[in-house]
Amino acid sequence: MTVRALLCVFWRHLREWSGDAAYETYVTRARGGELLGRQAFYLDSLSRRYRHPTRCC
Amino acid sequence: MSRLVSSLLWLGVALLGAGALGAIALGRGEPVNGVFFVVGAGCTYLVAYRFYSAFLAAKVLSLDATRATPAERLDDGRDFVPTNRWVVLGHHFAAIAGPGPLVGPTLAAQFGYLPGTLWLVAGAVLGGCVQDFVILFFSLRRDGRSLGQIARDEVGRRAGLLTMVSVLAIMVILLAVIALVFVNALKDSPWGAFTIAATIPIAMLMGLYMRFWRAGRVMEVSAIGFALILAAVVAGQWVSRSPEWAPVFTLTGTALAAAVIVYGFAASALPVWLLLAPRDYLSAFIKVGVVLALGAGIVLVRPTIQMPALTRFVDGTGPVFAGTVFPFCFITIACGAISGFHALISSGTTPKLLTRESDARLVGYGSMLMESFVGVMAMVAACALEPGVYFGINSPAGIVGATAEQAAATISGWGFPLDPTTMHQLAQSVGEETLLNRTGGAPSLAVGMAHIFSRSLGGERLLGIWYHFAIMFEALFILTVLDAGTRVGRFMVQELMGRAFPRMARTGTWTSTLVTSGIIVGAWGYFLYQGVLDPLGGINSLWPLFGISNQILASVALVVATTILIKMGRRRYVWVTLVPTAWLVVVTLTGSWQKMFHEDPRIGFLAQARTLEQQIGDGRVPEAKVADTRRLVFNNRLDAAVTGFFALLILALLVEAAVEWYRIAAGRKSAPLTESPYVRTKWVEGSP
């Protein structure tokens, strides 16, 4: 694997980890129904995430 | 690699680790280098991961790589998303690692470096990692259900209720104690207070950017936010030297406590996109970056450990907090060794992201090893300080005195030489008025980190910048936990109140939001306020209370796990969860008993209340302070009641579970598991 390819993999994983790629993942994987727009998806994902413990002590 | 080479390699790793830990444990008189801690802990983690976690995965849990995970079966691109295991590892680690593994080991360093380090390593390998791994696996087999739901389904309805109550109670104490650490780190520090105050508009700007202009662009907005925060750290130095602005940001403990309480209420009630989420994104990046930098710094600088292996304070007379090494070392260090709160994360988002069951080993067991390593690094940073300086920073004025001269005389009398000018010079070099009596662990950790960072980059002239960068780093994710915890606590209160008043369960209404936010903030705010008023620094009473509640939650999780193992027919392996459960029950019940009934007023809440009452009765309390002292009497009784409540919680759950275990063992009850049915994965090995 070349350095460039390694960096690409790292970048892709970093975007997944940070949540930057969440909307693209959603568009790829969503099943049926009407797709949410980027902004609506962002707000929806936040309201779902912060209903449960997400950060520990 | 041949079996022989592999065996020799692992034997080498084991011997290297044993040698490093042996040097730490047995070396006396000779200064120990911090690298021994890194090597000893690192090798132990490698061996534990390779062998013990493999045993858990294969024999105890029987992870099945052919079984489809909830992320595969229920994939919706939102909650359930099959994700690369290294990405999930990063998610999980960022979620479990908070201020606990940094502050706990720093406080426990008063016993010397040895007890805390051994507990961090052994506790994680045999307890914390096991808890995180098994709960993650059990949740994975139940469509990502929460710990409370699993307890209700597998142990009984009462167990589910007890779990929910203990989660809410620990949340209140947790938020109070981390808020107290925050207050103690920033009081009378205009540089620190300005930097942290600046993070609020920065986070709001990031929130507006992601809400209206570039929805969900986390990376670019975090880069902007990080640049602005660095600018705020540098600008803080100018503020601290400005005759006009320095007084504005020089806040007393009570003023800061009031500010944090107002902030917590606002963060809970405001839309999540405005403040909570952007701060969380920023905090996650900075947390991971600083932890990696600290690890690299320790290897680069190779700091010499100044603290002895054991100090005289193992006898319980420590100034940082009172209590003997057993049980208090094991309560003080919860996160980093074993933390019940992790069970909530392991049964939350993480199981909904795992692509394969076999990934649970890396994510559950592996990420807890990483957190333990963070704890070991915090121990190194704290113990690399001169012990006299460490005790000068972490001891309350009520014990060592409020002036550098008084503190130096007291601390030198304990056998840890301290020159008053050392404290003055240190404070000046980091841009603070004073570092004396800055209890809570955060300032001494920041001094230790600043020394390591400045010796790697920038030298002494950047010590002040590095110190305030470290303070910002700690305060930033304390606030993140405060924001997120208050919000979750609010939802729990809404759910509980909704049973009696259905209107309160409507999370979207302002009345419900404001009332329940007020209840949860009022609860932790009260404990915070009493901690700020406490003449012994607050940490002495609140941190053990937090440790006890967190370890009790861990016991709850392990009891639930033991029940499921019995139901799975793995009785011969129940020791993997039963041994850490038994240890935690002994530790927490001993700690609870001592915190309630110990005759030393610094340890026992009731003894402290009696002493204060007697002082009022004897007329030894000035008239102006009688009302405050009466409040302290009440607070100590309240703390005793809360401690007793925690102890009763675990006893009740143990009885409930033991009855269940007996019924199953005696064949009086069938033991159906509530696992989701087996579905074969559609993915072949190696994809996606």
Model confidence pLDDT, tens digit, residues A30-54: 877 788 999 999 999 998 888 888 8
DSSP codes joined into one string, B46-60: HHIIIIIHHHIIIII
Whole-number Cα distances in Å, B62 to A24, B141, B212: 34, 12, 48
* B338 neighbourhood in chain A, CB within 8 Å: none
Contacting residues for B597 by C-beta, under 8 A, at least 6 apart: B604, B606, B607
pTM: 0.93
Compute the nearest-CA separation of B665 from chain A (Å).
35
Q: Is A11 inside a domain boundary?
A: yes
Closest residue on chain A to B284 (Cα): A18
Of B84, B215, B335, the CB nearest to A16: B84
CB pairs under 8 A between A and B: 130
User: Do B484 and A39 make contact, defined as CB atoms within 8 angstroms?
Assistant: no
Residue whose structure tokens are 């925060």: B229
Q: Is B193 inside a domain boundary?
A: no
Q: Is A38 inside a domain boundary?
A: yes
Q: Is B120 inside a domain boundary?
A: yes
* A57 neighbourhood in chain B, CB within 8 Å: 98-100, 174, 178, 334-335, 339, 341, 481, 546, 550
3-state secondary structure of B83: strand
* A42 neighbourhood in chain B, CB within 8 Å: 210-211, 215-216, 273
The upper half-sphere exposure of residue B108, i.e. CA atoms within 13 Å in the direction of its Cβ, equals: 34
Q: Give the phi and the psi of residue B305 in degrees, each rounded to 5.
A: -80, 125
Q: Is A54 inside a domain boundary?
A: no
**Which of B268, B272, B486 would you mutate first to test chain A, the one with the most A CBs within 10 A?**
B272
Contacts by residues A35-40 (CB-CB < 8 Å, ≥ 24 positions apart):
A38/B215, A38/B216, A39/B211, A39/B215, A39/B216
Instruction: State pLDDT tens for residues B110-146.
Output: 999 999 999 999 999 999 999 999 999 999 999 999 9
Compute the nearest-CA separation of A30 from chain B (Å).
5
Task: Give the structural domain span for A26.
Answer: 3-49
Residue B688 has pLDDT above 60, yes or no: no
Q: Is A30 inside a domain boundary?
A: yes
Q: Is A56 inside a domain boundary?
A: no
**Of B153, B123, B126, nearest in space to B138 by CA:** B153
Instruction: State pLDDT tens for residues B246-279.
Output: 999 999 999 999 999 999 998 888 888 998 899 8
Residue B163 has pLDDT above 90, yes or no: no
Q: Is A19 inside a domain boundary?
A: yes
Instruction: State pLDDT tens for residues B463-514.
Output: 999 999 999 999 988 988 898 889 888 888 888 888 778 877 776 678 888 8
Contact B225, B273 (CB under 8 A): no
Average pLDDT over residues B418-426: 93
Q: How many CB atoms lie within 10 A of CB B234?
A: 13
User: Do A53 and B484 make contact, defined as CB atoms within 8 angstroms?
Assistant: yes
User: Do A20 and B280 make contact, defined as CB atoms within 8 angstroms?
Assistant: no
Res B233: pLDDT: 94
* pLDDT mean across residues, chain B: 92
* B348 neighbourhood in chain A, CB within 8 Å: 52-54
Res B60: pLDDT: 97
Q: Is B227 inside a domain boundary?
A: no
Compute the nearest-CA separation of B228 from chain A (Å).
19
Of A17, A38, A48, the CB nearest to B87: A17
Instruction: State pLDDT tens for residues B600-637.
Output: 999 999 999 999 999 999 999 999 889 989 999 999 99
Res B593: pLDDT: 97
Contact B106, B376 (CB under 8 A): no
3-state secondary structure of B628: helix
Count of the separate structural domains present in chain B: 1
Residue B29 has pLDDT above 80, yes or no: no
User: Do B272 and A46 make contact, defined as CB atoms within 8 angstroms?
Assistant: yes
Average pLDDT over residues B554-575: 94
Compute the nearest-CA separation of A6 from chain B (Å).
14
Count of the separate structural domains present in chain A: 1
Q: Is A40 inside a domain boundary?
A: yes
Identify the contact set of chain A against chain B, taking CB-CB distances under 8 A. Answer: 13-20, 22-23, 25-31, 38-39, 41-57
Res B684: pLDDT: 63
* A45 neighbourhood in chain B, CB within 8 Å: 78, 216
Q: Is A21 inside a domain boundary?
A: yes
Res B1: pLDDT: 63
User: Do A57 and B284 make contact, defined as CB atoms within 8 angstroms?
Assistant: no
User: Do A55 and B281 make contact, defined as CB atoms within 8 angstroms?
Assistant: no
Task: Give the structural domain span for B545.
Answer: 17-188+251-665
* B79 neighbourhood in chain A, CB within 8 Å: 48
Res B518: pLDDT: 92
Compute the nearest-CA separation of A19 from chain B (Å).
6
- The Cα B57–Cα B51 span in angstroms is 10
* B349 neighbourhood in chain A, CB within 8 Å: 49, 52, 54
Instruction: State pLDDT tens for residues B351-392.
Output: 999 999 999 999 999 999 999 999 999 999 999 999 999 999
DSSP codes joined into one string, B467-529: HHHHHHHHHHHHHHHHHHHHHHHHHHHHHHHHTT-GGGG-TTSHHHHHHHHHHHHHHHHHHHH
Q: Is B92 inside a domain boundary?
A: yes
